[in-house]
C-alpha cells in the first residue's frame, strides 16, 4: 500500500471548469493538496488563486504529458457530456474524443510515474437490471441499455484500461474507478442543450416557466446524489488501500422524475405550476438503481443530504449565480 495522503501532494484535476472538477478542486484544497487543473474551452466560474490552471486539449499527447508532469495523483474529471437529446441524435460526440482523451491521459500518467489515477465512469454503462439495484460485478454481464450503448462502451473501455494499468503492466499504476449515480448540485450544467434532467427541471422551476415542460412521462426513476455526498464517497474510494478498485457511489434511493419535480415545486414555493409532460421527447432508461452495499461496507460511506435539502441548496446557489451575472463583472470579481 502506498502513501496516499493529500496534504502537500501535487494533484492534477482534469476538467477544472466542470461540475465535478470544480467540486473536487475545492475538496482537495481543503485537504491541503497542491492542485493543477486543466481547462479547455470553458473557464472556471470561480477562479481559485491557489490553483494552477493550464489550458490543454487532452486529445493531444503532448498536452497530456504537460498536464501530468510532476504530479503525484490524477483525478480525471474531464469528459464530453450532454443530455438525452444529444445522446440520441449524435451519439459519437461522446465517444471519439473521450476514448482518445482517456487513453492518452492514462498513458501519459503512467509514463510520468503517477502514483494513483482516479477515473470517473458512469452508472449508465451497466446493463439494465429493471428495478433491482445493479452491483459492481455486473458491469460486463450484458449489453448496456440501447440509448446508452456508444457512451457506455466508451466508459467500459476506459475501465478496462484502468484495470490494465493497475494489474497487467509493469511498473503498475494504481487506479480507482468511481461509478456515480445521477449527481446534482452547485456548478452543474444548466444549459438546456447539455443539462441532465435534475438541472433542467430546477432551472425551469426557478425561472417559473409557464407552461413547465417536462421531457418524457415523468415516471423514469433515477438515483440522485447531492454533489457533496458524491465527493465524500469519491475521496474515500481514492483512499482505499487496493491498487485497483471499481465501486458505485450512489444514494441507494430511487426517485421518479415526477417526484423530483414535485419536490422542487414545494421547496421553491412554485404553486399552481402548469406542468406538461411530453412523452415524445427523448428520454433514457426507465429505471436505473445502483447498489450501495460495497460503498457502505468497504468505505463506510453513507449519503447525508436528503433530496429536499440538496435541491434547496442547489436552488440557492443557482439564484446567487444568476444575481451575480445580472449585477455585472464587478460583482462577479467580488463574489
Q: What does the H/E/C string look like for 219-246?
A: CCEEEEEEHHHHHHHHHHHHCCCCCEEE
Mean pLDDT for the chain overall: 92
pLDDT band at 332, cuts 50/70/90?
very low
CA quadruple 223, 229, 231, 233: dihedral positive or negative?
negative
39 strand-pairing partners: 55
b/e burial code for range 194-232 (CB count within 10 A of at least 16 → b): ebbbbbbbbbbbbeebeebebbbebebbbbbbbbbbbbb
b/e burial code for range 49-71 (CB count within 10 A of at least 16 → b): eebebeebebbeeebbbebbeeb
Summarised one tens digit per residue, pLDDT across range 236-262 is 999 999 999 999 999 999 999 999 999
Summarised one tens digit per residue, pLDDT across range 97-111 is 999 999 999 999 999
* C-alpha grid cell, residue 179: 461509478
**Over pLDDT 70: what percentage of the chain?**
93
Cα separation, 127 vs 134, whole angstroms: 8
The single residue listed with the C-alpha cell 444529444 is: 86
Cα separation, 228 vs 226, whole angstroms: 6
100 strand-pairing partners: none
Q: In the prediction, which pLDDT does 214 show?
A: 94
**Over pLDDT 90: what percentage of the chain?**
82
* C-alpha grid cell, residue 158: 476506459
Cα separation, 47 vs 28, whole angstroms: 15
* 2 pLDDT more than 60: no
pLDDT band at 90, cuts 50/70/90?
low
Q: By the 8 A CB rule, do 125 and 156 touch? A: yes
Query: Among candidates 283, 279, 288, 277, which has minimal Cα distance to 222?
Result: 288
Summarised one tens digit per residue, pLDDT across range 287-298 is 999 999 999 999
DSSP string, 147-170: GGHHHHHHHHHHHHHHHHHHHTSS
Query: Among candidates 241, 254, 247, which has minimal Cα distance to 296?
Result: 247
Summarised one tens digit per residue, pLDDT across range 286-328 is 999 999 999 999 999 999 999 999 999 999 999 999 887 777 6
* 84 pLDDT more than 70: no
Average pLDDT for 68-96: 81
Q: By the 8 A CB rule, do 172 and 166 touch? A: yes
Domains and CATH numbers, the chain: 10-185+223-253+288-306 (3.40.50.720)
Q: In the prediction, which pLDDT does 43 show?
A: 80
Burial of 242 (0-12, 13-18, 19+ CB in 10 A): middle
Q: Provide the 10 A C-beta neighbour count for residue 310.
A: 24
Amino acid at each position: 500500500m502506498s502513501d496516499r495522503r493529500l496534504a502537500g501532494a501535487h494533484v492534477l484535476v482534469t476538467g477544472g471548469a466542470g461540475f465535478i472538477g470544480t467540486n473536487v478542486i475545492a475538496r482537495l484544497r481543503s485537504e491541503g493538496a497542491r492542485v493543477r487543473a486543466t481547462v479547455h474551452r470553458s473557464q472556471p466560474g470561480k477562479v481559485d488563486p491557489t490553483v494552477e490552471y493550464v489550458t490543454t486539449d487532452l486529445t493531444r499527447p503532448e498536452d497530456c504529458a504537460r498536464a501530468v508532469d510532476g504530479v503525484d495523483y490524477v483525478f480525471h474529471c474531464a469528459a464530453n457530456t450532454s443530455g438525452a437529446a444529444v445522446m440520441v441524435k449524435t451519439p459519437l460526440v461522446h465517444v471519439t474524443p473521450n476514448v482518445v482523451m482517456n487513453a492518452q491521459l492514462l498513458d501519459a500518467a503512467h509514463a510520468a510515474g503517477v502514483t494513483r489515477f482516479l477515473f470517473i465512469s458512469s452508472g449508465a454503462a451497466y446493463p439494465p437490471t429493471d428495478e433491482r439495484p445493479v452491483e459492481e460485478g455486473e458491469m460486463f454481464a450484458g449489453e448496456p441499455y440501447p440509448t446508452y450503448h456508444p457512451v457506455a462502451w466508451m466508459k467500459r473501455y476506459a475501465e478496462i484500461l484502468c484495470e490494465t494499468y493497475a494489474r497487467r503492466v509493469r511498473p503498475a499504476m494504481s487506479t480507482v474507478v468511481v461509478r456515480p449515480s445521477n449527481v446534482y448540485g452547485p456548478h452543474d450544467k444548466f444549459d438546456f442543450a447539455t443539462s441532465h434532467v435534475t438541472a433542467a427541471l430546477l432551472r425551469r422551476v426557478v425561472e417559473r416557466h409557464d407552461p413547465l415542460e417536462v421531457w418524457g412521462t415523468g415516471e423514469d426513476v433515477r438515483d440522485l446524489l447531492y454533489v457533496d455526498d458524491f465527493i465524500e464517497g469519491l475521496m474515500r474510494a481514492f483512499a482505499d488501500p487496493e491498487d485497483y478498485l471499481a465501486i458505485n457511489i450512489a444514494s441507494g434511493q430511487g426517485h421518479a422524475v415526477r417526484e423530483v419535480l414535485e419536490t422542487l415545486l414545494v421547496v421553491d414555493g412554485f404553486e399552481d405550476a402548469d406542468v406538461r409532460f411530453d412523452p415524445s421527447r427523448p428520454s433514457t432508461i426507465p429505471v436505473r438503481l445502483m447498489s450501495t452495499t460495497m460503498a457502505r461496507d468497504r468505505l463506510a460511506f453513507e449519503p447525508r443530504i436528503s433530496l429536499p435539502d440538496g435541491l434547496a441548496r442547489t436552488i440557492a446557489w443557482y439564484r446567487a449565480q444568476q444575481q451575480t451575472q445580472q449585477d455585472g463583472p464587478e460583482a462577479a470579481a467580488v463574489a
